[in-house]
Amino acid sequence: MSTIPPRFILVLLPLTLLIIYSLLPKNRNQVLESRNMKLSTFLHSVRTPVELVLYYLFIYKMVPQLATFEGRNFDILSGITAPIIGFLYLKSKISKKVLLIWNVVCLGLVLFILFNGILSTEIFFQQFAFDQPNKAMKYFPFILLPAVVVPIVIYTHIVDIIKLKLLIASKEPLQN
C-alpha cells in the first residue's frame, strides 16, 4: 500500500537534513578543515559489494534489473576505481583536477541510480520496472542502503568536491 508522503521520504530525510546543515556556511569551514580525503576516497570501495548485493537481489526478484550493473546502474565503476584512485592519490600520482573530475563523475553515477531506484519503487509516482519493482529497500538490512550508505556516499563526494575546488582555486597543495 502506498502512503502519502511515501515512507522512503522518512528514510531519506534525516541524513539529507544533516548533510544540508553541515554544509551551511557557518559549519562548512570546520567540515572542510577536518576532511581526510584519502580516507574518503577509499571509502567509495564499499560500492562494489553493494552492487553485488543488488545483483543478487535482482536474481531473487527484489529489485529490478535496472538497479544492477546489468541494467542502468554503472555505480560499480565508482567502487572498482576507488581503490585505484585512492592509491594514486596517496602516492601523489594524480592531480587535484583528476580527483575532482572523478568525484563529480561518481557523484553523478550515484545520483542517477538513486533516482532510478526511487522511480522503480512501488509508490504512486513509480515510472520504471512495473514487472519487477524495487521491493528490497522496504526491508532490513536493505533499507540501510537508501537510509545510510547512499547519503554518506553523496555527502562524501559533495564535501570532497567543495574542498578540491577551493584547493584548486587557491593553488594550495593537496595534503589530506
CB count, 10 Å around CB of 46?
15
For residue 20, being part of any structural domain is answered with no
Residue 35 counted as domain residue: no
Task: Kindly state whether residue 176 falls inside one of the protein's structural domains.
Answer: no
Helix segments in 68-149, DSSP class H: 76-90, 96-119, 144
Q: Which domain holds residue 166?
A: 44-170
The total number of structural domains that make up the chain: 1
Q: Residue 77 domain-assigned?
A: yes
Q: Which cell numbers hold the place of 170? A: 587557491
The Cα-based distances of 69 to 18, 21, 52, 55 in angstroms read 30, 33, 9, 7
Would residue 28 count as lying in a domain?
no
Cβ contacts of residue 127 below 8 Å, gap of 6+?
119, 120
**Is position 105 within any domain?**
yes
146, 117 Cβ separation under 8 angstroms: yes
Instruction: Per residue of the chain (176 residues), give pLDDT as tens.
Output: 455 555 666 777 777 788 788 777 777 777 777 788 888 899 999 999 999 998 999 898 888 887 788 888 888 999 999 999 999 998 989 998 999 999 999 999 999 888 777 777 776 565 565 566 777 777 788 888 888 888 889 989 999 998 898 888 887 665 55
Contact 81/47 with Cβ under 8 angstroms?
no
Q: Is residue 70 domain-resident? A: yes
Domain presence at residue 24: no
Give the dihedral sign, CA 84/86/87/92.
positive
